[in-house]
A and B are shown apart, each in its own frame.
Chain A
């Protein structure tokens, strides 16, 4: 599994809701579609950097709030925010419809190695959240099965998952490793430099990412910092000849700058090699983790 377990689960669920090839279509066939709640959630956790993800279905008249626990425990406040909310409040604060909020439940996705502690923390919270445990083989429904048998059966006895092949609807978020961020944003910067831009606002690069409009304000702030960090890493070594990072801008190298080379189509082969070196340097751990 990837080091960014939360994003991997998010991408997996998006893929399952959208009929992505290589994944089971059962969730989609039950009518579930993913939705994000960035603000306005009635019992919001202060300063959250992740939006609430909900899988909602008109067909089954059900919504499933998704919580991902990369660590051994889950914060009970996160679970209580759902149970302390009425359907009316939920509809008022979000875009969910009456049919979708007729019934709702909570799913906690965690790692099998944390099974005991996750079970404990769910029990302590007093919330009847379904626990779904993930390991190299796939996902298993552990305790508190969903009321909807068809939904529960997707994860029973095991939903086999090839983690390396989970689609990346969202290529990275603010918790992703620098290699994953660089793999997405360095090509974006290269494209702009090839198009003749000489000064690129990093905030603009961020705004073009799929996640931008779906995340919280705190998430955006952290995303900007992560993107800037990845670009600064690239500009500090492998891409030094082609661009630099100054403040909130990426600046194109010019022939007049020290050792600078304007980025052009004819040198893309060299840029490819440098990008490979960059990703190898930044991502050794991430990539090995994904192979496991």
Chain B
């Protein structure tokens, strides 16, 4: 289905979720669209240039993305702009299979939502390719604090924990205590999460990767609900009977993320105001719950340019316990100046760099170094909890 407008798309997705058409009749799903609704929150670089038609730029960006050779080979696709601004359908076939559609809602020039009913494997692959290194699109990252906030929007019915710090372990990292993966189902998941976080021997490995949130848009109508699986990479998969519920969660999801990014950029991005003769911006502190230990080794791993961090830089050790590095974000572009000590990392968000770089760095540290890593301001307050 090619979306003509947001209203058209809304009716279509609502019908697919509830099994009825816009007119209220039961509708057979077209082939290929048989999965729950998936929505991806992605960040776009350098879009929405003032004075240019935003739609032109959106379509051009998407056409450039789908013409990337590897993506084109596996997922030949066409881009169809809707009559309404900032809405585009990407229609393609994954490895010659059934055609699928993805709907890019680009109303926000920076943080797009891509909705699809395509099978998870197809959608993940196509979005993953579009957001590959070197493109203008990138996935977002949700640290544990933000996922917990989203879980608070409804009833937490399940979660996934995943933690693997073996690459940071001295001596090769083959110890099984260096990783933990767990899936919990049921209404007691939140309690178990709290208990595990309080248990000192486990608290370093309790890294939230996904939350399953049950949400009822109307408290008096328990029949209409949705169950959303929200992943730390900005993917939300929703089942249930309430499309409104899905939309609400998606909007809150985007608003929460965008607000955090804007807050970080407006308060912490280091830049000069020449007219006022002032340096603007603050230093961020990443404070691990356990000492970093060998800062040189830490930097070699974190700034090697390889996944999951995808930060590249050449660390310079200025003393036995202090290392500096200007790290390029290979995913989003831009750079961070990082100063690493055994107790904390100072992070300077440089001009032109997206705060996504900081948030992704933090999220990765929570999953691959210590789950208790926090992002603090100059007063020691947790920035993401403000």
CB neighbours of A34 from chain B (8 A): 278-279
A191 lies within 8 A of B271 (CB): no
CB neighbours of A259 from chain B (8 A): none
A86 to chain B, nearest CB (A): 20
B134 lies within 8 A of A38 (CB): no
CB neighbours of A167 from chain B (8 A): 283, 339, 346, 348
Choose among B276, B279, B313, B378 the residue that contacts A95 (Cβ–Cβ < 8 A).
B276
Say which one of B104-112, B139-147, B314-322 lies at the interface with A: B314-322
Instruction: Indicate if B277 sits at the interface (CB-CB under 8 A).
Output: yes
In the bound complex, how far is the Cα of B376 from the Cα of A168, in angstroms?
18
B352 lies within 8 A of A22 (CB): no
Instruction: Indicate if B351 sits at the interface (CB-CB under 8 A).
Output: yes
CB neighbours of B330 from chain A (8 A): 194, 265, 268
In the bound complex, how far is the Cα of B330 from the Cα of A165, in angstroms?
27
B283 lies within 8 A of A214 (CB): no
Instruction: Indicate if A208 sits at the interface (CB-CB under 8 A).
Output: yes
**Contact A214-B312, Cβ < 8 Å, known A37-B277, A265-B133:** no
Instruction: Indicate if B326 sits at the interface (CB-CB under 8 A).
Output: yes
Instruction: Indicate if B344 sits at the interface (CB-CB under 8 A).
Output: yes
CB neighbours of A37 from chain B (8 A): 277
The number of A-B residue pairs with CB atoms under 8 Å apart is 126
CB neighbours of A19 from chain B (8 A): 282-283, 378-379
B326 lies within 8 A of A187 (CB): yes
Instruction: Indicate if B285 sits at the interface (CB-CB under 8 A).
Output: yes
Instruction: Indicate if A218 sits at the interface (CB-CB under 8 A).
Output: no
A-contacting residues of B (Cβ < 8 Å)? Answer: 133-134, 270-274, 276-279, 282-283, 285, 304-305, 312-314, 316, 318-319, 322, 324, 326-328, 330, 333-335, 337, 339, 341, 344, 346, 348, 350-352, 376, 378-379
Top 3 closest A-B pairs, CB basis? Answer: A213-B274, A19-B378, A164-B319
B-contacting residues of A (Cβ < 8 Å)? Answer: 14-15, 18-22, 28, 33-38, 51, 94-95, 162, 164-165, 167-169, 171, 183-184, 187-188, 190-191, 194-195, 208, 210-214, 265, 268-269, 272, 275-276, 279, 287, 290-291
Q: 10 A–B contact pairs at CB < 8 A?
A: A19-B283, A38-B277, A51-B277, A165-B319, A167-B283, A168-B348, A187-B313, A208-B352, A212-B272, A269-B304
